[in-house]
């Protein structure tokens, strides 16, 4: 089996980790929002730094010939 299929709380993907902030009767809204922002910021930084290459790749893939 794949190593990424762990069911322990120590090893999870980031979106699955967000589920830890949601309980049966309570939700840590502030913690959930903070964790979501912390997850999103690295992807946005990479996109901003590589935006020129991303746009070039998208447009070159859509042009015929």
* DSSP designation for 19: G
Per-residue confidence (pLDDT) for residue 22, from 0 to 100: 82
Residue 20: phi, psi to the nearest 5?
-70, -20
pLDDT tens column, 13-32: 888 888 888 888 888 888 88
Dist CA 51 CA 45 (whole Å): 10
Q: Quick one: which of 54, 51, 21, 61 has its CA closest to 37? A: 21
Q: Would the pTM of this model clear 0.85, i.e. be above it?
A: no
* DSSP designation for 50: T
Per-range mean pLDDT, top range of 6-10, 29-33, 36-40, 54-58: 36-40
Dist CA 4 CA 11 (whole Å): 8
């Amino acid at each position: 089996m794949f190593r990424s299929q762990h069911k322990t709380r120590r090893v999870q993907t980031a979106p699955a980790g967000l589920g830890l902030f949601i309980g049966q009767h309570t939700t840590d809204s502030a913690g959930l929002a903070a964790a979501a922002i912390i997850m999103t910021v690295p992807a946005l930084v990479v996109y901003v730094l590589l935006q020129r290459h991303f746009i070039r790749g998208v447009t070159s893939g859509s042009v015929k010939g």
